[in-house]
Amino acid sequence: MSLKKQALSGVFWSSTQLFGNQFIGFGVSLILARLLLPSEFGLIAMIGIFIGLGTALINSGLTQSLIRSENLDDEDFSTVFFFNLGGSIIIYSIIYFVAPFIATFYNQEVLTLIVRVYCIVFIINAFSAIQITRLTKMMDFKTQMKVSIPSLIIGSSVGIYMAYNDYGVWSLVWSSITQTIAGTLQLWFWSKWRPLWVFNIAKFKYHFQYGVKLMLSGILDLIFTNAYTIIIGKFFAPAQVGFYNRAETLQMLPVRSISSIITKVSFPLFSSIQNDDVRLKSIYKRIMQMVVFIVTPSLILMAVMAEPLFRLLFTEKWLPAVPYFQILCFNGILYPIHSYNLQILNVKGRSDLFLKLEIFKKIIVVLVILVSFQYGIYGLLYGSVLTSVIAFFINTHFSGKFLNYPAWEQTKDLLPIISLGILIGAVIYFLDRNFTCDIPNDFFRIVLGVSLGGVVYIAAAYLFKMNSVTELIHIIQRK
């Protein structure tokens, strides 16, 4: 199969998997939001950093090394498999014993047992990490789709049943564990690969040398991504953590739905042409513009219609999350740009530079948090927008050197798209507040605002001859 056909097939099956998961997951979240309290979601959000840290430590970036490396054999995969499995047991043991300290930090005694039970997913995931890696390397996203959607349905069914029967926060815990078990069993059924009883030290050192820098970068990013949840959880009520988490989750829905599809395909795609800088720049530029073209109006229109949107989806009890959501939407616009710029460093094998940049950016985050914390939750949120803008210029500067695509040129390519989205959002905000805010039905109010905004956005983009809308029309016409 040609590279183009592989990419198109990958996009199709990745899209099917992701949108299927998003559709089911979002529907389940609506049900659970009505059955559970914001504080119960807040408890799970508090331990999110520990779940992420455990996952990052177990993988150690070795799976990324497997995806980008050539001429692999079963010894490579088996070595990483046993390292992940052994690491998962060690990490779980550590988490088990520090669980009481986590509970004490947040002053939530129930977190001790929650952490000890939830983190079992570390060991379960270790059994399937290599199967997923091999499927990704082969760009076999069809099999991954056949696994992920049934797993999500099984886990969600357990969560809804338990929530309906008043199990509270444990509904979320066992939903995740059940989904992980179902996914692992299916991956072993569909994947014909089985580990050899071998651990090659030389191969381990090779993959670890590349992966450890990504691991440290991932840990840094995880800590600081969750810094706001940690601070809010420490100094505010669990319900506030729940509101923040709900706002962030909804804000990331269109971002991850779109950029994750492309990211999943683009990393192996970029890796396959890593030595052709001209072609790499061309594909990278087109992908980035297309993603931002779709993400920007999606987030801005959601921010404009946030109040009726939250009331319709989650009921009145979640309305305090609305202003959090509106601020975070500006972060979401830059999220895919960060992701693709850093992918270039990984593809070029510069995980060392990746790590240095992450350390530098985290120092900036600390400084901003120290200042913005004095102004409460809103100060922290506006501070996160500032750090995201600073990170954009840092990432584009260094990745641009590898592509001959400097930061100013990337800004020039993206600024018209973002500016148009903001302008359309301002127009819809004015119309909504002055003419349609009295519509009693939130659904029709949202549909009217989003439809009008979307049509005007596409029309304006076409009028100004933006490359992204032209390419999007060509793709639709070819279909």
User: What integer is the mean pLDDT of 448-456?
Assistant: 90
How high is the pLDDT of residue 96?
A: 93
Provide the H-helix boundaries in 119-169.
121-126, 129-137, 141-164
Give which of 60, 114, 117 is closest to 92, Cα–Cα.
Answer: 117
Write out pLDDT tens, residues 115-124.
Answer: 999 999 989 9
How high is the pLDDT of residue 357?
A: 77
Write out pLDDT tens, residues 369-380.
Answer: 888 888 888 888
Percent of the chain with pLDDT over 70: 84
- CB 336 within 8 Å of CB 362: no
User: 365 pLDDT exceeds 50?
Assistant: yes
User: 262 pLDDT exceeds 70?
Assistant: no
Lowest mean pLDDT among 63-67, 118-122, 139-143, 269-273: 269-273
Which amino acid does the sequence have at 453?
A: G
How high is the pLDDT of residue 388?
A: 86
- Spatial distance between the Cα atoms of 278 and 296, rounded to a whole number of angstroms: 27
Q: Kindly state the tokens that stand for 20.
A: 């299927």
Where are the domains positioned within the chain?
1-225, 227-479
- Spatial distance between the Cα atoms of 216 and 250, rounded to a whole number of angstroms: 28
Q: Residues with Cβ < 8 Å from 232, sequence gap 6 or more?
A: 240, 241, 244, 377, 380
- Spatial distance between the Cα atoms of 105 and 233, rounded to a whole number of angstroms: 9
Give the HSE-up count for residue 71: Cα atoms under 13 Å, Cβ half-sphere: 2
User: What integer is the mean pLDDT of 139-146?
Assistant: 76
- Spatial distance between the Cα atoms of 466 and 215, rounded to a whole number of angstroms: 38
Q: Residues with Cβ < 8 Å from 474, sequence gap 6 or more?
A: none
Q: Kindly state the tokens that stand for 334.
A: 């830059």
Write out pLDDT tens, residues 398-420.
Answer: 777 777 777 788 888 888 888 99
Q: Which residue has the higher pLDDT, 230 or 175?
A: 175
Give Cα 188 distance to the centre of its chain.
25
User: 159 pLDDT exceeds 90?
Assistant: yes
- Spatial distance between the Cα atoms of 210 and 205, rounded to a whole number of angstroms: 9
Give which of 344, 336, 353 is closest to 403, Cα–Cα.
Answer: 344
How high is the pLDDT of residue 155?
A: 93
- Spatial distance between the Cα atoms of 312 and 130, rounded to a whole number of angstroms: 41
How high is the pLDDT of residue 37?
A: 86
pLDDT, mean over the chain: 81
Per-residue confidence at 479, pLDDT binned at 50, 70, 90?
A: very low
- Spatial distance between the Cα atoms of 428 and 416, rounded to a whole number of angstroms: 18
- CB 306 within 8 Å of CB 326: yes
- Spatial distance between the Cα atoms of 252 and 294, rounded to a whole number of angstroms: 13
Q: Residues with Cβ < 8 Å from 26, sequence gap 6 or more?
A: 253
